Structure 1
Amino acid sequence: MERFRQEILEQNGTRDYAIVTILAYAGLRISECLQLRMEDVSLKAKEIAVRRGKGDKMRVVFIGDKVVNAVREYLKERPDPDSPYLFPGRNGEHLSRGQVNRIFNAHSDSITPHTLRHFFCSNALESGYDINEVANQAGHSNIHTTLLYTNPTREKMKEKANRL
C-alpha cells in the first residue's frame, strides 16, 4: 500500500495522492471522496463529514495524520479555489469516477478504489478498532457487511494457532 501511494505521489502529484490516502486511511467510498466539499473537511479537528454517503446518511469520519498531511499538501496547490469541491473537475463539477479509475489502472492491475476501502477496514480491525467502530467509520448500516472484511492473514492465523 505504501509503495502504491508513493508511486502515485511521485508520478501523479498531490491531488491523486490525497485521493488514494483518503480511500486507504479514511475508508470512504470513491463516490463519497469525490463528492467531498471544502466545508466537509476539518484538518484541525481531524474529521470529515460525509454527507452524501450511501442512503444519503451523514456520518463523521475521524482521520489520522496520513490523511491530514496528504490533504494539507494538496490544498497548497489545489486548482480552482472557487470550486466548492475538494477535488474539482471540469465545468464546476467534481472529478469523475472514470478519471480516478484511469489513474488506478495506470498504476496497478490489482488495486482499485474499492480495494483501498477493503484495506482500510481490514487494517482498522488489525489495528485495534472494534467491529462497531469500523462499521461506523465505513458507513455500514449492517454490521454483517463489516464482517466481510474480517479475513485475517495466514500469518495471523498461524500466530493464533500457536497460542492454543
Structure 2
Amino acid sequence: MEVVRATLRARHYSPRTEDAYVGWIRRFVRFHGWKHPRTLGEPEVTMFLTSLAVQGRVAASTQNQALSALLFLYTGVLGLEFDWLQGLVRARRPARMPVVLTRDEVRQVLAQLQGTEWLIASLLYGGGLRLLECLTLRIKDVDLASRELRIRDGKGRKDRVTVVPGRLVPALAARLDESRVLHGRDLGAGAGWVSLPDALDRKYPRAGRELGWQWVFPATRTYLDVATRQRRRHHIHETVVQRAVKQAVTRAGLAKAASCHTLRHSFATHLLQSGYDIRTIQELLGHRDVSTTMIYTHVLNAGGRGVRSPLDDLP
C-alpha cells in the first residue's frame, strides 16, 4: 500500500482520490482473503465488481470508481498489461437531471442562513463554486476591485476565474478583514501557519505565514502539524456548511433534495435562462467538455461576454 500511495503522489493525484483508491484496493485484497493482486486475475476482479453491484447494491459511479482503482493498481503500480483489463466494461450510469432551485427558492434558502454559512452559500450560487473550491479560497485569490474569484487547483487540477456578485462585495470585504485580524492574533501567539500546495513550503519556507496564503474561511481552532511542528489553522470543514444548508432547505419548507451542489446547478441554469452563452458558462463552471455543461440547457440563447451574477437579480 505504501507503493500505491507513492505512485499516486508521483502522478499528482488529489489526496481524496488517493484515499479512495487505497480504500478500494484494500477492500479488493480483503475480499479475496488477503491474496497478493499478482495472483488474482480477471475472474477475481469480475467477482469483486459483481459483488459490489449485487450484494453491496452500490451505485454505478461507485462501481466505476472501484474499477478505476483496480486498473490503476494493475497497470500503474504492478506494471501488468493484460488484454482482459482493457475489456472490462464499466457500469452504465443512469442519465439524471440535476436538482435545480428556482430563483425564489434560492432566496428562501439563503434567508434561512446567516453569518459565514450564508456568505459561503451565497458564493456557491453567485459564482457557481463547488463547496471545497469555496472553502479553500485564499485571501490572495479574491479580487474585489475586479470582482473576480480565482479558483486554484479545482476539479481535474484546473485553475479558472469566476465572478464575485456585486451584492456580496461588502460582506466579502468584511470577511477578509476578519481573516486578517485573526491571522494577526495567530502570529502574536506564535502560530499563523497554513498548509501550502505541493512543495511550496520548501521553496518558500516563510510563505505559510504570509497573509495572502491564509484561508478566507478559517476554522475556529488551530492544530499542531506533526511533521513540521507548526501551529496551523485549517479552513472550515465541509460538513459545517452541508449541515447548515440542509437545515435551511428544511426550514424553507422545500420538498426538493437540495444540497450545497444544488446551488451550483442553479447558478448555471439561471445564467442560461438569462441568455448567457454556453461556452461562457462552461468556463465559469470549469467543465473540461462543453457536453457536461449542456445538461443545463433548459434555455439556450446568445448572450453577452460580461457576466452579471444571478444573485444580483434576486428581489
1:26–1:67 CA contact under 8 A, matched in 2: no
Other structure's SS at 1:148 match? helix
Q: Which residue pairs with 2:171 in the alignment?
A: 70
Other structure's SS at 1:115 match? helix
Q: Which residue pairs with 2:111 in the alignment?
A: 6
Q: TM-score, normalization: structure 1?
A: 0.82
Change (3 A) 1:125 1:65: same
4+ aligned runs moved over 3 Å, structure 1: 73-79
5+ residue gaps, structure 2: 1-105, 184-191, 195-213, 223-232, 251-256, 300-315
5+ residue gaps, structure 1: 153-164
Q: TM-score, normalization: structure 2?
A: 0.44
Work out which of the residue numbers 115, 127, 149 in structure 2 matches 1:48.
149
Residue pairs, 1:79-98, within 5 angstroms: 80-81=182-183, 84-89=214-219, 90-91=221-222, 92-98=233-239
Aligned identity (percent) is 34
1:105 has 2:235 as partner? no
Change (3 A) 1:19 1:45: same
Query: What RMSD over aligned residues (CA atoms) do the two structures have, in Å?
Result: 1.8
1:136 has 2:277 as partner? no
Distance apart, 1:64 and its partner CA? 2.5
Q: Which residue pairs with 1:17 in the alignment?
A: 118
2:121–2:245 CA contact under 8 A, matched in 1: no
Q: Report which of the two structures shows the higher radius of gyration computed on alpha carbons.
A: 2
Separation (CA, whole Å) in 1 of partners of 2:283 and 2:120: 20
Other structure's SS at 1:54 match? coil
Separation (CA, whole Å) in 1 of partners of 2:107 and 2:170: 15
Separation (CA, whole Å) in 2 of partners of 1:70 and 1:148: 32
Change (3 A) 1:69 1:123: farther
1:42 aligned partner, one-letter code: D
Separation (CA, whole Å) in 2 of partners of 1:6 and 1:73: 19
Q: Which residue pairs with 1:35 in the alignment?
A: 136
2:162 aligned partner, one-letter code: V
Other structure's SS at 1:86 match? coil
Aligned residues: 148
Other structure's SS at 2:112 match? helix
1:131 aligned partner, one-letter code: I
Other structure's SS at 2:296 match? coil
* Higher RCO structure, 1 or 2 (CA under 8 Å, sep 6+): 1
